[in-house]
Structure 1
Amino acid sequence: MSGSLYVVSTPIGNLDDLSRRALEVLGQVDWVAAEDTRHSQTLLNHLGIKARLISCHDHNEAERSPELVARLRDGESGALISDAGTPLVSDPGYRLVRACQDAGVAVVPVPGASALLAALAVSGQPSDRFLFEGFVPSKGAARENALRRLAGLDVTSVIFEAPHRVVSLLESLAGLVDADRELTLCRELTKRFETVRRGPVAELLEWVRGDKDQRRGELVLVLSPAARGEQLSEQDRALAKALLAELPVSRAARVLAAHTGLKRQELYNYLEAIDS
């Protein structure tokens, strides 16, 4: 194991989800780089692992990486973990991984639990293509613009959100999507009060408003793909109708595709539907 950095996934709730391989690696490495050493110490104590913990988080990763790379080049072995789940997924670590690769140090994945993939797997939404957005901006125009962009995507979107902001996020989405647009809310995955509920955005908004328990814990939201018409802004829909009044469907689709950047065939199908 000497001279390698192991990127180790840890449980997102249920401790039995730690793999046997992850347990062996954490028990054998010389040190463990962790986002929050206090949180990770509790996990290692529970597992009966005595490993030296080294803090590695957003605020010190750039400075800490050369030190850790030097240790690895001297023959030590190390593991990188996050507070929960798979490191680097909305968590620190990529700077350390890049530094190791640039220095010729082996970086070895030890896969396991991931809130992103767990939510996608149980969401009931299409999973052949998806976008992982992570956390959207917390407020202002940046937040609204991010949600507007997600509302127009023709692929499933996975969003992390803080519990105290979930109502405002659902309110914004409800104003951006069609009434039957689905979303799956996944809360406290693998934990005692795990919740998975799928339904129209407006329906889930009313449910979360009325049940304060749904505004607690870790949340992952999985938004279904936009229908063809939803990918167009209100202005573009108005333009589509104006084009149809003057042009055949095929020519209108060509002009609208050039204007929006969307696929011409999908726009043709949309225009044909509203023209019939």
Structure 2
Amino acid sequence: MFVQKSYRDETSGKLYLVATPIGNLEDMTFRAVRTLKEVNWIAAEDTRQTRKLLTHFDISTRMVSYHEHNKASSGPELIRLLLSGDSIALVSDAGTPAISDPGYDLVCMAIERHIDVIPIPGANAALSSLIISGMATDRFTFVGFLPRDRKSIHKELEPLGQAAGTLMFYESPHRVQKTLGYMAEVFGADRQVCLVRELTKRYEEAVRGTIQQCLDHLQEHAPQGEYCIIVAGASTAPSRDDESWWATLTPEEHVAHYETADVTRKEAIKLAAADRGMPKRDLYNLIHQ
């Protein structure tokens, strides 16, 4: 067991996790600026991006690179510096470090060596999106980025389908439509979501509606910028067991509904058959009479 007393020894090296702006530079805190000026080193995910921030705030602290592709070699060297008495500030490209980035690995290494790890709070895209989404904030789960392939995505989404709390995802602009399509398959196209992009910037936008409505929106407005996808929990979402949403549809219309969510016709037939409680072969034969 190790009990951290963050400020018990001002002479030992400490690892500071410094949040940086996610767009608007005015979100940089006074404490973050002071910390970046006072530490011996700044470990940055992208040194070119961080250099712009340091220049803006007139910070001249030495900078080293620490990212997903060099963490195996850079991590132990940073730990060596910390053990020698140097303090290091870890920053990501934007927002709070150690969330969906390799900073987590460095934190674990530091804790194993009884090095104090100190947060310098600030901007966070997921929480900022949550509080403007209109979704429940009393219980939520941060998922982050989903896997790349369809099978792995389904495997991760399916256990979340009945989660009571709000779900929070990150997604890139070139994958957001596919991801929403997969969510429609697992959660149902009528689940409420909020798509948030360009947080704190001039073109900040929040699109609220069902998954299907958001897919329709993205068909008309090409995705731009990084997205946070906030999804209503099962306790506040319409039940897929409720027939009311498809009861007035013909079998062909029912299948077409799922096809608009960017799924194959074979998968659309499978989903519609599951709704109707019938074998997919029977539904196939019904719509091809």
TM-score by length of 2: 0.76
Instruction: Classify 1:100/1:175 alpha carbon distance in 2 versus 1 (closer, same or farther; 3 Å).
Output: closer
Residue in 1 that maps onto 2:89 = 79
Confirm whether residue 169 of structure 1 aligns to residue 179 of structure 2.
yes
Residue in 2 that maps onto 1:151 = 161
Instruction: Classify 1:95/1:231 alpha carbon distance in 2 versus 1 (closer, same or farther; 3 Å).
Output: farther
Structure 1 unmatched runs, 5+: 239-276
Shift of 1:231: 8.5
9, 14, 20: which is aligned to 1:10?
20
Residue in 1 that maps onto 2:230 = 222
Confirm whether residue 136 of structure 1 aligns to residue 146 of structure 2.
yes
* Cα deviations by residue, 1:139-193 (Å, 9 ceiling, x for unpaired): 2211233333433322210011110111112223234434542100101111111
107, 131, 151: which is aligned to 1:121?
131
Counterparts of 1:1-276 in structure 2 under 5 Å? 2=11, 3-178=13-188, 180-212=190-222, 215-226=223-234, 227=237, 229-230=239-240
* Cα deviations by residue, 1:231-273 (Å, 9 ceiling, x for unpaired): 99986995xxxxxxxxxxxxxxxxxxxxxxxxxxxxxxxxxxx
Structure 2 unmatched runs, 5+: 1-9, 243-270, 278-289
Across the aligned residues of Structure 1 and Structure 2, the Cα RMSD in angstroms comes to 2.3
SS of the residue 1:207 aligns to? helix
Q: State the 4+ residue runs in structure 1 displaced beyond 3 angstroms.
A: 147-152, 175-180, 227-238
Asked if structure 2 preserves the Cα contact closer than 8 Å seen for 1:5 and 1:72, the reply is yes
Amino acid paired to 1:217: G
Asked if structure 2 preserves the Cα contact closer than 8 Å seen for 1:32 and 1:53, the reply is yes
Shift of 1:4: 1.0
Asked if structure 1 preserves the Cα contact closer than 8 Å seen for 2:18 and 2:120, the reply is yes
Instruction: Classify 1:62/1:237 alpha carbon distance in 2 versus 1 (closer, same or farther; 3 Å).
Output: farther
Shift of 1:46: 1.4
CA distance in 1 between partners of 2:146 and 2:167 (Å): 12
SS of the residue 1:65 aligns to? helix
Count of residue pairs the alignment pairs up: 237
Instruction: Classify 1:146/1:231 alpha carbon distance in 2 versus 1 (closer, same or farther; 3 Å).
Output: farther
Moved more, 100-109 or 81-90: 100-109
Amino acid paired to 2:73: E
Instruction: Classify 1:53/1:121 alpha carbon distance in 2 versus 1 (closer, same or farther; 3 Å).
Output: same
Instruction: Classify 1:205/1:105 alpha carbon distance in 2 versus 1 (closer, same or farther; 3 Å).
Output: same
Which structure shows the higher helix fraction? 1
CA distance in 1 between partners of 2:186 and 2:76 (Å): 46
Shift of 1:230: 4.0
Identity of aligned residues (%): 42
Shift of 1:57: 0.9
CA distance in 1 between partners of 2:203 and 2:274 (Å): 43
